[in-house]
Structure 1
Amino acid sequence: MPTPILVCDDSAMARKMLIKALPSSWNVEITQAANGLEALEAYRAGKAEVMFLDLTMPELDGYGVLETLQKEGLNSFVIVVSADIQPLAQERVKQLGAIAFVKKPVNPADVEGLLRQYGVEL
């Protein structure tokens, strides 16, 4: 059974690049979201066992998504993917429940290593 993956970024190009960076052996069903509101909707529909989440987006940013997931007790394996690599941003997303922070542009080897580190079956 494929793992439901959500890729959330307001840039269609960034979503496409991230999807290409996922391990080819990973059996996934990918859903895309262009903002945080769409991400929460997809999550609530069961389409985000693993979520790749950008921070800077219109309507609801990545911080807002993480805060909502935390407040509602929702459970997802969230990896933040952002060009904002400031230590404070990294610290904040981890406090909000993200398991990892990956900088843009995404390196496929980094993504695979991270997934393996957390025991994701590829």
Structure 2
Amino acid sequence: MRNKKVILPLLVIVIIGFIIILNNLLTTSSTTAIVTVLEKKYSEANEEAFVVVVPPNMKISEGYHEEAKTKIFIKEPMVWNLIKENKTYLVNYNNKQNGVSILDHIQNIDDNNAIDLNQTKNYFN
């Protein structure tokens, strides 16, 4: 009987903790924006490709605010290779609860051909 009194509250705490962790990892929102790519980087240590973007109306010569920057991770190396710095793109990216942004769709503003990452997955699977 005594073991049940200890195990039940412990089990409830573990379940609540598991739900909180899942909520933080799985909750996302989607953002669509026109952005200018400031930096394009690849971290070999973590094998992560990402771009740093700002709204296109920000004048880089006058300086830009740190809070306007967004770091977007790119899972597909081929897509990362096609992105150019100082170019403007229409992007759609998912924002996870933990603050990580992952690219979902990118289109050159001057081009009608978009790279839809959901469709490219079907070609390689």
Query: Normalising by the residue count of structure 1, what TM-score does the alignment of the two structures yield?
Result: 0.24
Q: Which has the larger radius of gyration?
A: 2
Relative to total residues, which structure has the larger strand share, 1 or 2? Answer: 2
